[in-house]
Amino acid sequence: MTYVTDPIGDLLTRMRNAQKAGRASCTVPMSRLRMELLNVFKREGWIAAVETTGEAPKLKIEVTFVPEKTLTLKRVSKPGRRTYVSVGELKNPVLHGFGMAVLTTSKGILTDAQARKENVGGELLCTIS
């Protein structure tokens, strides 16, 4: 059994590796944080589907990619160096609006646009373009 110190970084790396290998989907271990993050990606149209598989102690998440999109995923806040942003620092959209940043805030996991709308800042988890 391996212990992962950065579950979000592990998720993003598995997704990057699966796409570079030409896979249509990838499987990651289940956690509530990963599931919420993937649901944000799905809601915003970056991935096609997210579903849980397996039995109770060893649940997995199956991530299905959108065939036309190649994702550029970047982990911003890391366990060794957390990155927090205020709503004022979110004024510059990722890639002039063609990308998205994901934050964990007091109101849950939000995109940068939602955080600006809610007027909250938080830990900047990752960017996707």
User: In the structure, what pLDDT confidence band is assigned to residue 6 with cuts at 50, 70 and 90?
Assistant: very high
Same domain, 54 and 89: no
Residue 91 pLDDT more than 90?
no
Q: Per-residue pLDDT for 17 more than 90?
A: yes
> Which of 48, 65, 82 is where one domain is finished?
65
* Residue 58's CATH number: 3.30.1370.30
- Same domain (yes/no): 39, 87: no
CATH code: domain of residue 78: 3.30.1490.10
Mean pLDDT for 3-23 is 94
Mean residue pLDDT of the chain comes to 93
Residues 39 and 17 in one domain: yes
Three-state DSSP class for residue 76: coil
Rounded Cα gap, residues 36 and 110, in angstroms: 10
- Three-state DSSP at 24 gives coil
Q: What is the pLDDT of residue 94?
A: 80
Domains identified in the chain, total number: 2
Quote the pLDDT of residue 1.
Answer: 58
Residue 92 has pLDDT above 80, yes or no: no
Query: Six-digit token pair at 113?
Result: 């646009």
What does the DSSP 8-state code read for residue 17?
A: H
Q: How far apart are CA 10 and CA 126, in angstroms?
A: 12
56 within domain boundaries:
yes
Domain contains 2: no
Which residues neighbour 55 within 8 Å (Cβ) at sequence distance 6 or greater? none
20 belongs to a structural domain: yes
Q: Which of 5-9, 18-22, 33-37, 88-92 has the lowest mean pLDDT?
A: 88-92
Range(s) of the domain holding residue 91: 73-128
To which residue do tokens 């620092």 refer? 89
Q: Is a pLDDT exceeding 70 seen at residue 110? A: yes
41 and 11 in one domain? yes
